[in-house]
């Protein structure tokens, strides 16, 4: 699945990608998304699809495209009290253009703060209702006088397009592993950019996989709905899917099961996580884009992998979700976990014992001798015996690893040795 020449991205390299993407103002459409994809395209080749405004996609319509150049609230001295150039979170996403003079009393309904976190800027959007507003620190609002204030939002809402990008690593079979991450958040390092960085890291590590591996970089909700609408005739190729988000905070890993609850992706992820600090939660129709792939009409085998889940950490959807909150070690750990999951999905297969009556003599085939002197001799022997016993055409290697409580790689290695010795064969 990978060659010795493939150099995995390190934690610091993943973090550097987060830092580079962080300043860009992204939304569900617009040039910020394209600038983000241009940088991703330096690491992996991308196929870009532009879907025009007004396109009907399932029960939704692709919205107008939003772009913003500048925004501020300026006091009588000319000082920018609220400045888009300082943080793109200062403007409510999809704000319509504004130019005028307002008192503080007139502005208050359009100013959003976090009184319980007075030093942080909240993240707010208004994608589908034409309005405008600013987000600011509570301590900034507390220091503002009655005004008047000069207000500018230099934005446009025009007929344009929604941008989706895909990176595909061709496999030996058409069945697909799909990794989805969202590109719609502005400067939020964990909820958005960490998932993008880990997806890029995995994509760069894959080479000649068995499954075709598809990576989707698209805005949340409307992006997944649009992709599904454009690909309804081929979604049955998705054998395993995973939405990736909040991938870089120092919390423990969390896996949210697919709607099916016991799909291959559910069994693979939970098996990999069993030796790591983690949480497993049931499916719910609230969250990231797994809920679109798991909607009842599609019911695809799609789970979600995060560290601390959405809304589960104080920095969530605030200016506190910055590159300092994301750690290279956590990014590397998420990538390694995802890599192990991919190895399980790639290596899982069903075998048939060709000598099922009694235990075959392993010694004269050199199988026991090949295990001598290993530090994991007992584990390797157990794996071999379990593979022989459960290779009845009904249990896959993952089933065997779970039943035996053994690492999947130990079971796969035993299966290869037994297959080379002519004791088992792979079923189609």
Q: How would you classify residue 78: left for phi > 0, otherwise alpha for psi between -120 and 50, otherwise beta?
A: left
Phi, psi of 109 (to 5 degrees): -60, -15
* Residue numbers belonging to the annotated binding site for Zn(2+): 185, 191, 317
**10 Å Cβ neighbour count for 108?**
11
Question: 181: which strand partners?
Answer: 217
What whole-number distance in Å separates Cα of residue 178 and Cα of residue 197? 16
* Residue numbers belonging to the annotated binding site: 185, 191, 317
Cβ-count burial 307-346 (b if 16+ within 10 Å, e if not): bbbbeebebbbbbbbbbebbbbebbbbbbbbbbbbbbbbb
Would you give the end-to-end CA distance of the chain in angstroms? Answer: 20
**Element holding 143 (H helix, E strand):** none
What whole-number distance in Å separates Cα of residue 241 and Cα of residue 289? 11
Sign of CA pseudo-dihedral 217, 180, 199, 46: negative
DSSP string, 393-408: EEEEHHHHHHHHT--H
Cα distances from 109 to residues 66, 112, 132, 189, 319, in angstroms, run 23, 8, 10, 28, 21
Of 209, 268, 211, which is closest to residue 2 (Cα–Cα)?
Answer: 209
Rounded to the nearest 10 degrees, the angle between the axes of helix 195-205 and helix 31-40 is 30
Give the β-pairing of 392-396 and 134-135: unpaired
DSSP string, 158-222: ES-EEEEEEEEE--SSS-EEEEEEE---SS-IIIIIIHHHHHHHHHHH--S-SSEEEEEEE-TTH
Contact 207/231 with Cβ under 8 angstroms?
Answer: no
CA atoms within 13 A on the CB side of 148: 5
Contact 144/184 with Cβ under 8 angstroms?
Answer: no
């Amino acid at each position: 699945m990978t060659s010795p020449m493939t150099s995995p991205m390190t934690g610091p390299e993943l973090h550097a990608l987060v830092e580079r993407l962080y300043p860009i103002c992204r939304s569900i459409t617009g040039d910020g998304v394209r600038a983000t994809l241009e940088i991703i395209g330096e690491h992996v080749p991308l196929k870009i699809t532009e879907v025009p405004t007004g396109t009907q996609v399932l029960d939704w319509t692709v919205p107008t495209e939003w772009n913003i150049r500048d925004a501020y609230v300026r006091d009588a001295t000319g000082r920018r009290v609220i400045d888009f150039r300082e943080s793109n979170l200062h403007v409510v996403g999809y704000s319509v253009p504004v130019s005028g003079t307002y008192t503080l009393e007139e502005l208050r309904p359009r100013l959003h703060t976090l009184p319980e976190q007075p030093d942080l800027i909240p993240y707010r959007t208004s994608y589908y209702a034409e309005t405008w507003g600013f987000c600011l620190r509570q301590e900034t609002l507390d220091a503002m006088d009655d005004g008047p204030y000069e207000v500018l939002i230099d934005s446009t809402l025009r007929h344009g397009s929604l941008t989706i990008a895909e990176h595909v690593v061709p496999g030996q079979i058409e069945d697909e592993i799909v990794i989805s991450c969202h590109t719609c958040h502005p400067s939020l390092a964990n909820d958005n950019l960490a998932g993008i960085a880990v997806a890029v890291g995995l994509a760069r590590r894959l080479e000649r996989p068995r499954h075709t591996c598809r990576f989707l970089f698209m805005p949340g909700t409307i992006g997944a709905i649009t992709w599904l609408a454009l690909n309804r005739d081929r979604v049955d190729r998705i054998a395993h899917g995973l939405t990736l988000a909040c991938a870089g905070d120092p919390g423990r890993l969390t896996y949210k099961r697919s709607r099916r609850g016991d799909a291959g992706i559910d069994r693979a992820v939970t098996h990999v996580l069993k030796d790591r600090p983690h949480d497993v939660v049931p499916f719910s129709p609230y969250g990231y884009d797994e809920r679109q792939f798991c909607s009842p009409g599609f019911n695809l085998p799609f789970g979600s992998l995060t560290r601390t889940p959405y809304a589960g950490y104080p920095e969530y959807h605030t200016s506190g979700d910055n590159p300092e909150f994301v750690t290279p070690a956590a990014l590397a750990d998420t990538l390694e976990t995802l890599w192990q999951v991919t190895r399980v999905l790639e290596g899982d297969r069903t075998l048939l014992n060709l000598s099922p009556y009694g235990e075959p003599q392993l010694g004269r085939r050199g199988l026991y001798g090949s295990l001598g002197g290993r530090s994991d001799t007992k584990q390797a022997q157990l794996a071999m015996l379990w593979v022989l016993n459960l290779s009845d055409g009904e249990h896959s290697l993952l089933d065997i690893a779970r039943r035996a409580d053994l690492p999947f790689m130990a079971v796969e290695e035993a299966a290869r040795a037994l297959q080379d010795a002519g004791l088992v064969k792979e079923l189609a």
